[in-house]
Amino acid sequence: MENPNSLKESLLPSSLESSHGHHQKAAVKRRRFRRCRSAPLTDRVVNGDGPAPSSETIPTSLHPSLKKVAAFLSIYLGVGVICFYILEPQIAGKKTSDVVDAFYFCVVTMTTVGYGDLFPDSVLAKLLACAFAFSGMALVGLVLSEGADYLVEKQEVLLVRALNAHQKLGPSDFMKEIETKKAAYKCLLVFIVLLVLIITGTTFLALVEKLDFVDAFYCVCATITTLGYGDRSFSSEEGRVFAVFWILVSTICLAQFFLYIAELHTERRQNALIQWALTRRVTNTDLEAADMDNNGHVEAAEFVLYKLKEMGKITQEDISLIMEEFEELDVDQSGTLSLSDIKLAQSPPPIR
């Protein structure tokens, strides 16, 4: 899901300036009074695992960590188990031990498998189950977007290293390999984990729940896809203990696998576009279009910006926004920033 912006091109810097003239001036004033406490930053700012920049303006908890995901998961399961343990008489179906059933019901609801071997049988239990299904969906989404991806990325480096052990890649080649084929390696990694989970689940269902092989495999498939028809499910106490962990991991794993396939698709598309932008012949028209300051030749930075736009990494809107700031800072209107420019631009105004 890139940002499609067919209409953005009409936002030329000139039109922006005229419409935002007074906002801009007000902003300058505000900015001049603000003391700067932030250390100079490199592009580490955006790295999830790097230390967060200590600044007054940037929110500190930008990247919810694995800890946060684990905390939410614990709270969800904790509250769920207590609620359904108390409401146990209002839940109908095949029962084993109270605590195990409460746990099992929680996980089956949260992952939206919903076998129906246990189901709420009172108004209160039904409404509570609805609430748990919605919050469970949101939680699974959180696990997918934050926790799982983080874990997979950590393992990815190991996988790439193992797969390329015989090729003796240098550190820069190694990083390039990871960067350009990130999604492909993630897919592979999750696929391997998924296979292991499917085999484990099928074996367990065959041995412990005494299902025949086809039924065991069918139940595994119906579970990880969160179908959960419920004609086959975990009915013994030990089966449900296993199910709690296995369902949680395997449903998330399959969903993550599909996410990575989508990412792989985007990655291929992106790489094709980058390849195309990098290999296509540069024409006079390109040079003219790339020449931002109209001085008759294209500097390195101008060329990079032009190509980035072509690759779809940035838009004219992004550039326009920053150009507003540039023009503000370029007090002597020379078209370049020097030390004297920023001193002038950032000095306190003469009158308070």
Rounded to the nearest whole angstrom, what is the least distance from the CB of residue 70 to its own copies in the complex?
19
Q: Do residues 103 and 244 lie in contact, with contact meaning Cβ atoms separated by under 8 Å?
A: yes
* Smaller CB separation from its own copies, 62 or 86: 62
Q: Which of 326, 330, 346, 350 is nearest to 338 (CA)?
A: 330
* Smaller CB separation from its own copies, 99 or 329: 329
Could you say which DSSP state residue 59 is in?
Answer: -
* Smaller CB separation from its own copies, 237 or 263: 263
Rounded to the nearest whole angstrom, what is the least distance from the CB of residue 35 to its own copies in the complex?
8
Beta bridge partners of 120: 91
* Smaller CB separation from its own copies, 160 or 238: 160
Specify the DSSP element, H or E, that contains 91.
strand 91-93
How far apart CA 137 and CA 179 sit, in angstroms, is 31
Could you say which DSSP state residue 331 is in?
Answer: T
Beta bridge partners of 93: 118
Q: Do residues 86 and 93 lie in contact, with contact meaning Cβ atoms separated by under 8 Å?
A: no
Rounded to the nearest whole angstrom, what is the least distance from the CB of residue 336 to its own copies in the complex?
4
Q: Which of 159, 151, 149, 225 is nearest to 188 (CA)?
A: 159
Rounded to the nearest whole angstrom, what is the least distance from the CB of residue 88 to its own copies in the complex?
16
* Smaller CB separation from its own copies, 195 or 238: 195
How far apart CA 210 and CA 205 sit, in angstroms, is 6
How far apart CA 208 and CA 340 sit, in angstroms, is 77
Cβ-in-10-Å burial (0-12, 13-18, 19+) of 287 comes to middle
Rounded to the nearest whole angstrom, what is the least distance from the CB of residue 152 to its own copies in the complex?
11
Query: For the CA atoms of 51, 55, 60, 63, what is the dihedral angle to 10 degrees?
Result: -50
Amino acid identity for residue 265 in this structure: H
How far apart CA 265 and CA 258 sit, in angstroms, is 11
Rounded to the nearest whole angstrom, what is the least distance from the CB of residue 285 to its own copies in the complex?
4
Rounded to the nearest whole angstrom, what is the least distance from the CB of residue 94 to its own copies in the complex?
13
Amino acid identity for residue 138 in this structure: A
Residue whose token pair is 């119906």 = 222
Rounded to the nearest whole angstrom, what is the least distance from the CB of residue 58 to its own copies in the complex?
4
Q: Do residues 290 and 257 lie in contact, with contact meaning Cβ atoms separated by under 8 Å?
A: no
Tokens in use for 169?
Answer: 């890649």
* Smaller CB separation from its own copies, 79 or 130: 130
* Smaller CB separation from its own copies, 245 or 276: 276
* Smaller CB separation from its own copies, 43 or 349: 43
